[in-house]
Amino acid sequence: SLCAGGAPSLSYQELKDLKKTNVLHIDVRERWEIDRFGKIPESINIPLGELVEALQMDPTEFKEQYNQKMPSKSDPVVFSCLAGTRSKQALGFAMSLGFS
């Protein structure tokens, strides 16, 4: 299940269309889930328990840790997980940190 601020639920096709633009897709599942169920292409994995810390990192540290440019507070970001509960929590965390 996928979450974004403007549309709390996205379909897979909507995500694919968004990925053609400059959206950052953060998968908040645990690493063992990625290993077991597979990685979503062009997403970065930041388990929910690390997300608040990750979104407050120094951009250089973020790039070293996640091999991806750190999103700015105005960049489009989509969160995903297995069922939708964690992605909604992730969206709440990001918005509480000032992400729009």
Per-residue pLDDT of the chain (100 residues; tens, 9 = 90+): 555 555 557 777 877 787 777 788 999 999 999 999 999 888 999 999 999 999 999 999 999 999 999 999 998 888 998 888 899 999 999 999 999 8
What pLDDT is attached to residue 8? 59
The pLDDT assigned to 18 comes to 75
* Cα 23 to Cα 80: distance, rounded to the nearest angstrom: 13
| pLDDT for the residue numbered 58 | 96
Task: Return the active site residues.
Answer: 81
Count Cβ neighbours within 10 Å for each residue of 82-95 and write b for 16 or more, e otherwise.
Answer: eeeebbbbbbebbe
Domains annotated on the chain, with CATH: 12-97 (3.40.250.10)
The one-letter amino acid code at 85 reads T
Task: Please tell me the predicted confidence (pLDDT) of residue 38.
Answer: 92
